[in-house]
Structures are given as C-alpha cells and as structure tokens.
Structure 1
C-alpha cells in the first residue's frame, strides 16, 4: 500500500480536538495520504461534490454500514492486491450516500457492524490504513 496513491474524501469537519489530534498523528505516519473535507449538505449535493472530486483513474471505495467487513490483516491483503492503483475512500455525511454513488463504487467497505460518527470513522480509517501498511511491511505495530 502506497499512502501517496490514496485519498480520503470526508463529508463534514472534525470538530473534536482529540479526534483531530489522532488523525494528525496517523497522517504524519502516512506521508502523502490526503484528506479532503467536503461540505455537508443533502445526500444529493454531497454525492455531486464527491463525484466532482474523484479523479478518473481512482478506485472508489465507499465506507458504509452495509459494506464488506474485513479484519485488519485481510484489509491489508486487499490493499496489497490493489497494488499501485489509485484509491479514494469516501466517508459520507450523517444521512448516508445516494444509491447512484453507492453503485459507482468499486468496493463498499464497512469499518464495523456498529455505526460511528463521521469524525470517528475518519480516525479509524486512517489508523487502519497505517496498520495495513505496517502489516504489509512486517512491522511490530500489529500484533495478531
């Protein structure tokens, strides 16, 4: 997994300082990973903003409750399988994403069967991307 080939599009702003501190910690460990905040609005307007922000050659990965559940090791292996492809992870707003945007996704991923606020989902995603990188590099961060 190459963080410089990944982006996160996230609807809404992080308002809790402790969450932003955690995100910043992992972003320092993942140089090149970009997080782009999109304005929250209606699902239709958010979908338009997401579509406008996606680059043509990026694989669209949408985070949603009904998505595929993977453990950390399988998540890392899935990212490894994608190789050097460009990836864009999308974290939607409180009202979810449109069916059209969901259908366009190359992968629908769930972080947990539980529902998280978008701020926590962002922190969990960047932590799991860091964990995936260390798993693939054989580092000591992940202990099975």
Structure 2
C-alpha cells in the first residue's frame, strides 16, 4: 500500500510574477524559502513557507494558458488556509484592499470560513481553526 506522509507543496502558476510575489509575501505573509530564475525556461520559481510545515511553489512562465478558476469548476476547487480568527483575517485582507466574500458557516462543522482571490483569480479560503 502507498504510504503518503503529508502534502509536500502546492504549485501555482501566475501571470504577473511581481504582483503575485507581493500578494503571497506581503498580503498573506508567507516566508520566502528560495527564489530561482530559470533562464532556459524564462521562469521564476519562488518557494514559500506556510507555518513552517507546508510550501507553495509560485511559478511564472511566458504567456501561461488561462484556466477556469471558479470554486465550482472541474479540477482543484481552491486552496484553504487555517486561521485562528476568520473575522480578524478578513479585516487584515480588506485593510490591504483585498475583496473578501461575506463570512459563512460550514454546515457540517459549524466553523466560519470565507473566500477571496489571488491576483490571477485563484480561489483562496480562510477557515476557522
């Protein structure tokens, strides 16, 4: 049987590297682990740390293809981040000019959550611990 230990990383391709780098580091507060420019691919790869446990790989490529990013589209639905206080996280994001949906309650767990988007429209969620 295959033994999976944990999710190692999530990879995201962005359309505007500088804008996405600023969003993930300054707005979301993720820590840069490593940044590499791969000249042969004309591509950046930025490794970002999430709570000393997970990584997001942020890639740039020349002219990446568009992808449907609605939360109900086929494929990866969204990327969720756990927070201690959803209302506090919403206030932080809105203070930085990020549009955030109204807070909802998960009917299965009773916990608060909401959605917002990265600069490319990728659905992101914040979910109550």
Whichever of the two has the greater Rg, that structure is: 2
Structure number with higher relative contact order (C-alpha < 8 Å, ≥ 6 residues apart):
1
- TM-score normalised by the chain length of structure 1: 0.30
Structure with the higher helix share, 1 or 2: 1
